[in-house]
């Protein structure tokens, strides 16, 4: 038996534990036999002592002993100590200038200022530094071992002299000349200078059978332990300035062991600039492609520490090959072409920086089918809109609800039944209003991350905030094609997680509520959802148009006082247009019937019999039958009430138009008299026959003032009556469903807030990247923008409720309009105006960007959105739903949204010329894709992911915005996005077919994302192990292999539950 203790080798007797001989490992070397079957080594001494023959139990033990004996030599220890002393001296030299400053006079210190570092010249909004890595001639501990290597990148900041781990490459398996596909990139905000040092450490992975190594877990100042499944090969350090200033923009560095004495290979660092092609090394990659195997996860194996023996030593297992993954071959995704100036222009930086923040960049280089390199920069960024949009919406909700409560109070005197109902409604509304105010106050205090992580999806204060809203961008630079950008917005499914899904989601709850509300007619008057929405629209028009008409009337009087004919004409034109809109807003039977219903609710009238509940078929003109005058009985004991005059409203409403005609006639007459040199006596304008005309010599202002006052008085009377009648309609809606109505409104507001935040982000990003695409801009204002949501939710358990919430929230986005305006300040965040179901998002652009827009958009034309949702469940819960549950919800959603997609396509073909989009091939392509999508939806196959790929293809061909959603925008979303990206590279940028799986593995690797801590994790916001959400699905997943076993498992589970509750 042998033991190695420091630089002593102890030879023990087999019969006793005492050492029979001690060998000092000084001035000796190890000779290892090259035979693969030989397990012996020879220890030779310079002093001439006899050779020492050692035999191990296995080849792996023999290799381990050779390494251990070679490192036990005291000369190796001396070299390590010398290397450490050298490093200490370098650190002391760097700090000498800082320490000397402490002894300088204060005046000299002030002139020196803070340490100045040389910044790296770069393009605006581009990463500061990017480089690729490759190793050559790596030396293994044993000759026959094939290395499985990766490089860990660390940064030494010049001001702090602290080593910080930054990122790692993927693992390249089975070669001593690895070329890494994953590069290193530093984002624009990263503090890196020419004086910054970068340390590159090469490791050899020994065992991939254990857990994944995460470099961010280990302290920055410590090297990883040798027993963590990887061994240290060598390291090197270089200054950033040396790389940037080198003529070839390449450094060839020598890798040395930790003691600095032994060379273990070289490492090549190549500076990367997107837009410049990389030559060379392609033949090397092509020839060695069969031998190099890539692993994207670093395995960790914990080995026991203790003595080494020739018969029982550390046993190193061979690395297994990666499991091949099968990729779908037919996934054509169309490339998005963008003008080069649109990619790096400086004008769009302020507005983009106001929306995006904290980008995380990853750099790759992949070979093409024609033996060229293409470079891919992948970027994921947070958005400030995650909190900005919900806060703006909640503020609008508070104002809208406060107006509604005041309108209910202004209804005037009501009968006791209706008055009690009003008091109850206002009390409940005040509670909801207080809750909105508290939520807004809590969001105002938020100072943490700019996105909500999945760990916080159940927090009440953050229920309006979308989950994990990020921009996922892929910038492709290929040799023969234009640079292309591919954007996908990833976000968790918009849903009310805090309220839960015990009773389903919005789609089910709204249907159930509407059915129950029809049966409460004996308590209140039933109005259909369409009529209720019409009442809200009338109130919104009143609040919007009345101030405008008053202001235009004042401008008309001001123009008259200045005696300006041109200004008078313009003011009259604006006044006429707004007044006509005002009059048209009340041209509805609903206002007339609501006035009659309000009359019956006054104390002077009682109903002869309760109102009969209406059927769902009663619409439009049938409203007047629900409160027919025959049901009203006037109380003769109250003499101040008279019979209701239905024509009174018509007279009041018509007076506004007559007053406007008088104003128009007077203005025409004044302008005519001003243009005429002589006034003919006795001549009058026939249109002004009913108007009182002052003498011709009077002032314009004096003649117009009484007419304008009359117009305002008539308008005020109409507004008072219409407001009260429409408020009474809203009172019926609220009274028929307290408190469910308010709770459903709250849930819908929550879901809509999450969906709108993502939509605003997607619109702004799409607008910025397509400003130079005239075809897209024409499509935007002529047809609208297609927004395609890819849902990956199952139809089982809680996720079915999430899908119902998501479907309603995305459907509500159809009523959102966008408007592009020129920014008047440095605040480029969007402005939200309007009310529920009628919001307008004003997107602000800098002046230079605003000038690039078509005239229609610059004039304020509202831009329509066409959101569509296609969902396909792909997890184990969907397997249960397909076997034992119901997938009708998913089928109905896909069918409904297919019709919406066809509607958009028809509008596009009608209004847009065939050659408007440069990457269009033929219209038949889209027709074929739509027909294929229709067939796949009708087929109702299990987990038919072809639906998702076809919908994504159609969306990109139609210049749409892509969203990918699952429960929390983590595992399923990332798998879908990376597969889509690699499919685009293969189909549109000629990615080499042998590198599809390797590219997919690189993009899916957590290891290459850099040193992320818990709060910086862009996927989850906290450390996760990618485990299923519930431990109960492990046995289910295993049992799904056999349907018979699954049935047995379900029967046994049911029996256990019955026994438990009995």
End-to-end Cα spacing for the chain: 64
What is the Cα–Cα distance from 428 to 735, expressed in whole angstroms?
10
What is the Cα–Cα distance from 853 to 724, expressed in whole angstroms?
43
Whose CA is closest to 534, among 611, 586, 595? 586
Q: Are 409 and 1047 in contact (CB under 8 A)?
A: no
Whose CA is closest to 172, among 249, 233, 223? 233
- Give the helix/strand (H/E) hosting 91: helix 74-100
CA separation, residue 709 to residues 570, 607, 652, 659, 871 (Å): 19, 39, 15, 9, 58
Per-residue 3-state assignment (H helix, E strand, C coil) for 180-239: CCECEEECCCCCCECCCEEEEEEEEECCCCCCECCCCCCCCCCCCCCCECEEEEEEEEEE
Compute CA 642 distance to the chain's CA centroid, rounded to the nearest angstrom.
Answer: 61
Contacts of 778 (CB under 8 A, 6+ apart): 854, 912, 916
Q: Are 713 and 457 in contact (CB under 8 A)?
A: no
How many DSSP H helices and E strands does the chain contain?
A: 29, 28
Neighbours of 930 (CB within 10 A): 17
Neighbours of 417 (CB within 10 A): 13
What is the Cα–Cα distance from 465 to 467, expressed in whole angstroms?
7
Strand blocks (E) in 711-862: 785-791, 817-822, 831-835, 838-845
What is the Cα–Cα distance from 729 to 747, expressed in whole angstroms?
22
What is the Cα–Cα distance from 18 to 1015, expressed in whole angstroms?
55
Neighbours of 694 (CB within 10 A): 12
What is the Cα–Cα distance from 784 to 180, expressed in whole angstroms?
44
Largest Cα span, the chain: 143
- Give the helix/strand (H/E) hosting 507: helix 506-518
Whose CA is closest to 659, among 580, 716, 714? 714
Indicate if the alpha-carbon torsion angle 430, 431, 436, 437 is positive or negative.
Answer: positive
CA separation, residue 903 to residues 574, 762, 897, 913, 914 (Å): 35, 22, 10, 17, 17
DSSP code, position 450: S
796 SS3 class: coil
Annotate 344-368 with DSSP letters as a single string. Answer: H-STTHHHHHTTEEEEEEEEEEEEB
Neighbours of 328 (CB within 10 A): 10
∠ CA 64-68-73 to the nearest 5 degrees?
Answer: 155
Q: Are 88 and 96 in contact (CB under 8 A)?
A: no
**Residues forming the active site:** 966
Q: Are 193 and 1024 in contact (CB under 8 A)?
A: no
452 SS3 class: strand
Whose CA is closest to 321, among 357, 295, 298? 295
What is the Cα–Cα distance from 861 to 817, expressed in whole angstroms?
10
């Amino acid at each position: 038996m042998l033991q190695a203790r420091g630089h002593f080798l102890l030879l023990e007797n087999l019969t006793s534990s005492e050492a029979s001989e001690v060998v000092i490992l000084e001035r000796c070397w190890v000779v290892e036999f090259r035979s693969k079957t030989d397990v012996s080594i020879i220890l030779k001494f310079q002093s001439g002592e006899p050779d020492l023959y050692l035999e191990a139990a296995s080849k792996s033990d023999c290799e381990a002993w050779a390494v251990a004996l070679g490192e036990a030599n005291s000369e190796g220890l001396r070299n390590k100590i010398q290397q450490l002393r050298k490093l200490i001296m370098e650190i002391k030299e760097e700090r000498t200038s800082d320490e000397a400053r402490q002894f300088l006079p204060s005046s000299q210190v002030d002139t020196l200022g803070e340490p100045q570092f040389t910044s790296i010249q770069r393009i605006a909004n581009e990463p500061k530094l990017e480089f690729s890595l490759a190793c050559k001639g790596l030396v293994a501990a044993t000759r026959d071992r094939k290395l499985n290597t990766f490089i860990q990148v660390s940064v030494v900041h010049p001001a702090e002299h602290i080593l910080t781990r930054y990122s790692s490459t993927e693992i390249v398996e089975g070669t001593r000349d690895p070329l890494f596909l994953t590069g290193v990139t530093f984002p624009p905000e990263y503090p890196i200078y020419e004086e910054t040092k970068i340390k590159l450490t090469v490791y050899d992975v020994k065992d991939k059978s254990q857990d994944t190594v995460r470099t961010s877990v280990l302290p920055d100042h410590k090297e990883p332990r040798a027993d963590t499944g990887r061994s240290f090969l060598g390291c090197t350090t270089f200054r950033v300035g040396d790389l940037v200033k080198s003529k070839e923009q390449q450094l060839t560095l020598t890798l040395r062991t930790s003691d600095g004495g032994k060379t273990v290979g070289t490492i090549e660092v190549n500076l990367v600039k997107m837009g410049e092609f990389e030559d060379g090394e392609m033949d090397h990659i092509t020839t060695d492609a069969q031998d190099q195997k890539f692993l994207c996860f670093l395995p960790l194996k914990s080995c026991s520490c203790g003595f080494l023996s020739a018969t029982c030593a550390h046993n190193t297992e061979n690395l297994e090959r990666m499991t091949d993954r099968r990729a779908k071959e037919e996934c054509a995704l169309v490339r998005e072409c963008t003008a080069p100036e649109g990619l790096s222009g400086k004008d769009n930086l302020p507005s983009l920086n106001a929306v995006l923040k904290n980008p995380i960049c990853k750099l790759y280089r992949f070979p093409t089918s024609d033996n060229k390199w293409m470079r891919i920069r992948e970027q994921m960024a947070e958005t400030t809109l995650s909190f900005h949009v919900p806060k703006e919406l909640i503020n609008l909700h508070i104002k809208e609800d406060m107006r509604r409560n005041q309108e209910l109070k202004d209804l005037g005197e009501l009968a006791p039944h209706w008055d009690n109902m009003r008091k109850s409604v206002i009390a409940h509304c005040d509670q909801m209003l207080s809750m909105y105010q508290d939520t807004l106050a809590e969001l105002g205090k938020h100072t943490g991350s700019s996105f909500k992580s999945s760990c916080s999806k159940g927090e009440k204060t953050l229920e309006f905030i979308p989950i994990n809203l990020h921009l996922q961008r892929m910038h492709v630079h290929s040799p023969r094609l234009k640079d292309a950008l591919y954007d996908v917005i990833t976000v968790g499914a918009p849903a009310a997680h805090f309220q839960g899904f015990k009773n389903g989601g919005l789609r089910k709850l709204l249907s159930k509520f509407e059915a129950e509300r029809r049966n409460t007619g004996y308590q209140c008057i039933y109005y259909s959802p369409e009529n209720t929405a019409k009442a809200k629209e009338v109130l919104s028009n009143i609040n919007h148009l009345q101030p405008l008409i008053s202001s235009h009337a004042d401008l008309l009087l001001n123009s008259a006082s200045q005696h300006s004919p041109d200004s008078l004409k313009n003011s009259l034109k604006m006044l006429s247009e707004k007044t006509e809109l005002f009059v048209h807003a009340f041209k509805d039977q609903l206002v007339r019937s609501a006035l009659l219903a309000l009359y019956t609710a006054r104390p002077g009238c009682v109903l002869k019999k309760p109102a009969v509940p209406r059927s769902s078929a009663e619409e439009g003109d049938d409203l007047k039958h629900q409160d027919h005058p025959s049901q009203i009985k006037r109380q003769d004991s109250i003499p101040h009430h008279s019979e209701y005059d239905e024509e009174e409203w018509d007279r009041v409403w018509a007076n506004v138009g007559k007053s406007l005609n008088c104003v128009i006639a007077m203005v025409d007459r004044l302008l005519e008299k001003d243009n005429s040199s002589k006034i003919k006596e006795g001549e009058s304008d026939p249109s002004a026959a009913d108007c009182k005309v002052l003498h011709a010599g009077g002032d314009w202002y004096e003649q117009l003032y009484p007419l304008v006052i009359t117009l305002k008085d008539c308008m005020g009377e109409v507004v008072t009556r219409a407001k009260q009648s429409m408020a009474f309609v809203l009172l019926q809606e609220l009274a028929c469903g307290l408190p469910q109505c308010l709770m459903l409104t709250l849930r819908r507001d929550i879901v809509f807030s999450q969906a709108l935040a993502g939509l605003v982000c997607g619109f702004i990003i799409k607008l910025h990247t397509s400003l130079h695409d005239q075809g897209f801009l024409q499509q935007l204002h002529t047809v609208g923008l297609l927004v395609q949501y890819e849902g990956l939710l199952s139809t089982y358990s809680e996720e079915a409720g999430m899908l119902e919430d998501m479907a309603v929230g995305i459907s509500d986005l159809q009523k959102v309009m966008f408007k592009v305006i020129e920014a008047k300040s440095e605040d480029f965040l969007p402005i939200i105006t309007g009310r529920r179901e009628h919001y307008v998002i004003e997107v602000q652009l800098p002046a230079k960007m605003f000038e690039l827009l078509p005239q229609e958009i610059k004039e304020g034309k509202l831009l329509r959105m066409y959101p569509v949702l296609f969902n396909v469940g792909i997890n184990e819960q969907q397997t249960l739903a397909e076997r034992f549950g119901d997938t009708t919800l998913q089928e109905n959603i896909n069918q409904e949204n297919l019709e919406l997609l066809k509607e958009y396509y028809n509008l596009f073909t009608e209004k847009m010329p065939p050659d408007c989009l440069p990457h269009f091939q033929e219209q038949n392509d889209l027709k074929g894709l739509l027909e294929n999508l229709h067939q796949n939806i009708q087929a109702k196959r299990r987990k038919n992911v072809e639906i998702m790929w076809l919908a994504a293809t159609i969306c990109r061909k139609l210049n749409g915005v892509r969203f990918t959603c699952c429960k929390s925008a983590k595992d399923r979303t990332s798998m879908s996005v990376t597969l889509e990206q690699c499919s685009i590279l293969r189909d549109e940028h000629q990615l080499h077919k042998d590198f599809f799986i390797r590219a997919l593995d690189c993009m899916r690797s957590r290891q290459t994302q850099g040193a992320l801590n818990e709060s910086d994790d862009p996927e989850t916001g906290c450390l996760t192990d990618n485990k299923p959400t519930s431990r109960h699905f492990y046995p289910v997943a295993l049992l799904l292999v056999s349907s018979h076993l699954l049935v047995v498992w379900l029967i046994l589970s049911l029996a256990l539950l019955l026994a438990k509750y009995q």
